[in-house]
Amino acid sequence: MRGPDGERAVWFFTLEADRLLGVLAARAFYGLPYRWSSMRVTADGEQVTYGSRRKWPWGTGFTDIVVEPGPAIQSTHLENFLTARYRLYSQRRGQILFAQIHHEPWTLRMARLLRLEQNLVECSGVPRPQGQPVVHHSTDLPVRIGRLQPLTENSVGLP
């Protein structure tokens, strides 16, 4: 998405996390829609399974995804558009806020979707996507999120 200042950023409709303290801190300090969930990631041979189940009081959202990672790829314009976000937007008390996101570019691999069962999209109030999903895989990547700041006319182009 593009914010009111024209900068591209990510707007999170939901974020699942398995550490309650982290969920509460992200909600309180960043205004991000984290939900406490039991989560797992397992690699079994050529397949990687991702699963989450929301815990009380955040409803019944769940995901069950199995992918088969393929070869590494050189990111195209589409992959960069989908994954290269270095700013996030949030809203707290009616004010739009932003924070810079710092990480190396994702090392992407093609992936084949073997199973996708979820209701997080619907639980987040977003229309269900149409068509086939675009699937990529990447290993863990350290990410740092900067200080949350109010969005103003002077926010454009901050590092």
126-144 confidence digits (pLDDT tens): 888 899 999 999 988 898 9
Query: How confident is the model at residue 3, as a pLDDT?
Result: 72
Q: Is the pLDDT of residue 155 over 60?
A: no
Proportion of the chain above pLDDT 90, given as a percent: 50
Q: Is the pLDDT of residue 93 over 90?
A: no
Taking residues 147-159, what's their average pLDDT?
A: 68
Query: How confident is the model at residue 58, as a pLDDT?
Result: 87
Proportion of the chain above pLDDT 70, given as a percent: 95
Query: Regarding predicted confidence, which is higher, 78 or 119?
Result: 119
**In angstroms, how far apart are the furthest CA atoms of the chain?**
51
**157 to each of 20, 21, 83, 91, 94, how far by Cα in Å?**
34, 32, 19, 20, 23
Query: How confident is the model at residue 105, as a pLDDT?
Result: 85
pLDDT band at 34 (very low <50, low <70, confident <90, very high): very high
Distance CA 17, CA 54 (A): 9
Query: How confident is the model at residue 68, as a pLDDT?
Result: 97
Distance CA 148, CA 90 (A): 9
Per-residue pLDDT tens digits for 51-78: 999 998 888 899 999 999 999 999 888 8
Domain ranges across the chain:
10-154
The phi and psi torsions of 60 (rounded to 5 degrees) equal: -115, 25
Query: How confident is the model at residue 159, as a pLDDT?
Result: 41
pLDDT band at 85 (very low <50, low <70, confident <90, very high): confident
